Chain A
Amino acid sequence: MKELISDELYTILEEEETNTIKIKGILRLNGLSEYAPIAAILENRAAQGNCMVVDVIDLEFLNSSGIAMLSKFIIGARNQNVKDLTFIGSKKIAWQSKSLANLRRLYPALQLEIV
C-alpha cells in the first residue's frame, strides 16, 4: 500500500486498485481542523465515483473529534448518494463495534464489516 500520511502515532495508506484507504494507529488530533488532511483524502476518493473501502482494522484509538470527522464524511457521502461505501473494522478493538454501528445509523446504505 502507498503511504499518504505518516505521523508518529498514525498512518494513512492507500491501495489504488481497490480504492481502499487504510487508517491505522492512534488518532487523537485536536479538533476538525487538525483532521482536515485526512478528511480531504476520504472526500477526494469518494468523489471519484467508484466503490470505496475505508479500512480501520488497525485503528486502535479514535477520539471524539475523529468520530466527528468520520461522521461528517459519511453524512457527506449520504447527501451525495455515494454507493458502495464499505467500512471494515475489527472485533478485537473494543471501540469499533459500537462507534462504527453509530456511523451506519447516519447512512444505512453504508456497508459495515466487522472481522
Chain B
Amino acid sequence: MNRVFGEFEESTVDRETELLTLKFSPNSVPLKQRWRNNGLSADFMADYVTTFFPYTKDDIASQNRQNEIKSAVNYIANELLENAMKYSSEMKEYPIEIHLLLEKDKIVFYETNTASKKDIDAFVSYIENLEKKGATALYFERLEKMAVDGLEEGSGLGYATMINDYNAKLSWSFVEVNKDFTTVTTMVKFETNI
C-alpha cells in the first residue's frame, strides 16, 4: 500500500535548481560494507553548501550562520545515509539515492531506498509513534528505554535529533514495489534563513 506521512512534496527540479545527487548501487561493494562512505559523502555535502553561504571575516553572524548550516547538512546527510545503509535491501536493482536541493531560504534533502516488508513495517510504526508523541517526548523516551533494555537498532534517534536540534521538517513517501519490498523516500527540509 502506498502511503505518505507529513507534508511530503514531490521534488521539482528544473534548469535553475541547484542540485547535488549521490547514488550508491549494491552491485559493486555491499552497502553494509560502505560505512566509511557515509561520512565522506556527508562531509562533502556540508563543504559544498558553504559556497552558497559565504561569510565575511568581520561579520560574526555570517560565520555562525555558515557554521550552523554546515553542521546541520553534515548531521542530516550522515544520518540519512547511515539509516539507508543499515536497512536497504542488498538487491542490485534497488540503489540508494540522496539529493540535496538548494532553494531560496531552505535546503531540502530527498533520500530514497528500498527495504523489506519487515523493516518497512517497523519504520512505519516508528513514524506513527513520532507523529503521536512528538519528537522531543519520543527522543527522551527512547533514550531512557535504551538505557534499561540496551535497545540498539532502530532507535530512530537520528530523525528525532534532526527535528529537535536542527528544526528540520520531516516527511515520508512509501511506494510498494511488490509484495516483499517497498521504496521509501525521506524528505528533510530546513530553513537557512537563520
Contact residues of A with B, CB < 8 Å?
9, 26, 28, 30-33, 61, 63-65, 67-68, 71-72, 75-76, 79, 92-95, 98-99, 102, 105-106
Q: How far is the CB of A62 from chain B (nearest CB, A)?
A: 9
Residues of chain A within 8 A (CB-CB) of B189 are: none
A106 nearest CB neighbor, chain B only: B143
* Contacting residues, chain B, for A64 (C-beta < 8 A): 79, 82, 155, 157-158, 161
Distance from B67 Cβ to chain A, minimum over Cβ atoms (Å): 5
Q: Please tell me if B58 contacts chain A, counting CB pairs below 8 Å.
A: no
Residues of B in contact with A (beta carbons under 8 Å apart): 35, 38-39, 67-68, 70-72, 74-75, 78-79, 82, 139-140, 143-144, 146-147, 150, 152-153, 155, 157-158, 161, 164-165
Number of A-B contacts (CB under 8 A): 71
Given known contacts A63-B82, A63-B158, A68-B155, A99 and B143 CB-to-CB distance under 8 angstroms = no
A10 to chain B, nearest CB (A): 11
How many Å from the CB of B79 to the closest CB on chain A? 6
Residues of B within 8 A of A79 (CB): 147
What residues of chain B lie closer than 8 Å to A75, measured between beta carbons? 143-144, 147
Q: A63-B82, A95-B71 are in contact. Are A28 and B38 (CB under 8 A)?
A: yes
Contact B75 A95 (CB under 8 A): yes
Choose from B79, B82, B139, B147 the contact partner of A72 (Cβ within 8 Å).
B147
Are B165 and A102 neighbours in the complex by a CB distance under 8 Å? yes
Please tell me if the beta carbons of B140 and A67 are within 8 angstroms of each other in the complex. Answer: no
* A102–B71 touching, CB < 8 Å: no
Pairs A–B under 8 Å by Cβ, sample size 28: A28-B39, A28-B78, A28-B82, A31-B152, A31-B153, A33-B152, A61-B39, A61-B75, A63-B75, A63-B82, A64-B155, A64-B158, A68-B143, A68-B155, A68-B157, A71-B147, A75-B147, A92-B67, A93-B71, A94-B70, A94-B71, A94-B72, A95-B71, A95-B165, A102-B165, A105-B140, A106-B140, A106-B143
- Whole-angstrom CA separation of A93 from B139 in the bound complex: 22
**Contact indicator A71/B71 (Cβ below 8 Å):** no
Bound Cα distance A95, B76 (Å): 12
B161, A71: Cβ atoms closer than 8 Å:
no
**B146 adjacent to A68 (CB under 8 Å):** yes
The CA of A102 and the CA of B136, in the complex, are separated in Å by: 10
